[in-house]
Amino acid sequence: MELDAGDRLLDRKEVEQHFGIPKRYLELAVMRGDGPRIVRVGRLVRYRVSDVRLWIEANASAEG
């Protein structure tokens, strides 16, 4: 079974590197429940690339 690139799981450091969203923001967003959707793998928190992209689009502002 081949994974779609959007299904790839990233840790917080990788999300920060690829999308520029600071790790600390992601940590706080999980507690507040307003960040990108997470996938828990045991005690680990991961993010699907597609979920991060959807979250960015949903939170994009039309303002300059």
Mean pLDDT for each 10-residue chunk of the chain (64 residues)?
A: 76 97 96 95 96 94 70
Beta bridge partners of 61: none
- What is each CA distance from 42 to 11, 36, 64, in whole angstroms? 13, 18, 41
| Structural domains of the chain ordered from first start | 5-58 (1.10.10)
- What is each CA distance from 33 to 4, 29, 57, 62, in whole angstroms? 26, 6, 17, 23
pLDDT on residue 2:
58
